[in-house]
């Protein structure tokens, strides 16, 4: 495939040739080869395929909310070419066999590459760590989504094992004894605890959906000491303030939003991740926390960060592609370069569109952006040199 008349995030014009699932050539006025498919980008912006560090596809056990096929379609429609799935399924993903089965199903569908994380404690029981010692070498990320390890003793042992085995811990910081009466304190306390364990053991740590000023400041301070920690923020924690829409961690204050944006400017924030969390209407009415976000992430962030806050597009590109690729160890993804994987997203920066939850590809429609007009739209997604979504 030859992509002509595209622009990169810095505004420069470019043509790209894709062959064998890779970017084979980059230049200007590249001529089509015999029989080659030609795609005219018409001056729109070509970015590396987006990579989501934090996503729920609800398989197995909760397929009425989302399944791998609908999750894949939603991801492709949002410009994503790779996602990192959480283990809070039924049964909980606590083994290499379970993780490999999910990744194989996703690859069979073929729209999006997938890494399946494994639980820190077996079946989220809060104490059993033996499975971490025998995880296959290709499974390097563990987490306890929605069920943070409350015992400091158990978590210290988990950090020690993961340090020895080169496994990254992804922390959903919440002290669940505190959260019933103070969600802010619950996030801040467990953030500080896990940062200290990270520093003590030298274990790679990734802090998920950071939402408070205190948490991002603690992470920035740890980074300044050389602690091996990275962190993500979600589009909805950047977009909304003082809202009672139910997500976990909760929507915070305007001051917290300002702190997260400042963290992006200073480099304290490494990535933007969706925390795509589909729920049925019935479950949402019963108070289930979360929202779908794969299909609105780029537009919400482009509108908020680039159009309103004046951040450069190349920084948003890095937060959604290059930096997540580095965190996951995906050396050939997240960049536009000869030899890199042909995972690409074409966006129309001039397009304005109104979100309609009923037109999303996700099986669920819990979308607080419904009815809002956003700037910037994904018009085409390419994975491994094949078109996986076209608006």
Hey, is 109 helix, strand or coil? Answer: helix
pLDDT in tens, the chain (391 residues): 999 999 999 999 999 999 999 999 999 999 999 999 999 999 999 999 999 999 999 999 999 999 999 999 999 999 999 999 999 999 999 999 999 999 999 999 999 999 999 999 999 999 999 999 999 999 999 999 877 899 999 999 999 999 999 999 999 999 999 999 999 999 999 999 999 999 999 999 999 999 999 999 999 999 999 999 999 999 999 999 999 999 999 999 999 999 999 999 999 999 999 999 999 999 999 999 999 999 999 999 999 999 999 999 999 999 999 999 999 999 999 999 999 999 999 999 999 999 999 999 999 999 999 999 999 999 999 999 999 999 9
pTM of the model: 0.97
382 φ/ψ angles, rounded to the nearest 5 degrees: -125, 130
Residue 354: count of CB within 10 angstroms of its CB:
11
202/204 Cα distance (integer angstroms): 7
Of 52, 256, 275, 348, the catalytic one is: 275
256 catalytic per annotation = no
CATH of domain 49-328: 3.20.20.140
Of 351, 290, 294, the closest CA to residue 49 belongs to 294
CA distances for 82 relative to 51, 115, 291, angstroms:
5, 8, 19
């Amino acid at each position: 495939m030859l992509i002509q008349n595209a622009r990169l995030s810095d505004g420069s014009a470019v043509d790209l040739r894709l062959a064998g699932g890779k970017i084979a050539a980059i230049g200007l006025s590249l001529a089509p080869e015999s029989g080659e498919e030609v795609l005219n980008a018409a001056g729109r912006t070509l970015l590396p395929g987006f990579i989501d560090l934090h996503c729920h596809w609800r398989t197995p056990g909760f397929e009425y909310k989302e399944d791998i096929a609908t999750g894949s379609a939603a991801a492709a429609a949002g410009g994503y070419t790779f996602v990192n799935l959480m283990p809070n399924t039924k049964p909980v993903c606590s083994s290499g066999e379970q993780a490999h089965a999910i990744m194989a199903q996703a690859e069979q569908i073929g729209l999006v590459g997938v890494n399946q994380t494994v639980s820190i404690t077996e079946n989220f029981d809060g104490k059993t760590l033996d499975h971490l010692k025998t995880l296959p070498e290709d499974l390097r990320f563990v987490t306890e989504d929605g069920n943070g390890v409350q015992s400091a003793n158990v978590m210290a042992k988990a950090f020690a094992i993961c340090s020895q085995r080169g496994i990254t811990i992804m922390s959903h910081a919440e002290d669940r004894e505190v959260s019933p009466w103070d969600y802010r304190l619950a996030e801040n306390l467990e953030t500080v605890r896990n940062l200290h364990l990270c520093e003590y053991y030298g274990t790679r740590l990734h802090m998920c959906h950071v939402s408070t000023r205190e948490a991002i400041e603690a992470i920035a301070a740890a980074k300044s000491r050389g602690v091996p920690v990275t962190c993500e923020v979600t589009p909805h924690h950047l977009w909304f303030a003082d809202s009672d829409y139910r997500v976990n961690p909760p929507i915070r204050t305007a001051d917290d939003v300002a702190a997260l944006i400042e963290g992006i400017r200073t480099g304290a924030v490494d990535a933007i991740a969706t925390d795509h969390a589909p729920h049925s209407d019935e479950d949402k009415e019963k108070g289930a926390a979360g929202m779908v976000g794969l299909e609105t992430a780029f537009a919400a962030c482009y509108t908020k960060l680039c159009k309103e806050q004046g951040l450069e597009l190349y920084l948003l590109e890095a937060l959604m592609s290059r930096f997540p690729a580095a965190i996951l160890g995906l050396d050939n993804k997240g960049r536009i370069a000869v030899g890199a994987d042909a995972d690409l997203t074409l966006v129309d920066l001039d397009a304005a569109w109104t979100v309609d939850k009923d037109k999303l590809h996700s099986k669920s429609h819990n979308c607080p952006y419904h009815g809002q007009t956003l700037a910037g739209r994904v018009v085409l997604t390419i994975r491994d040199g094949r078109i996986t979504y076209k608006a």
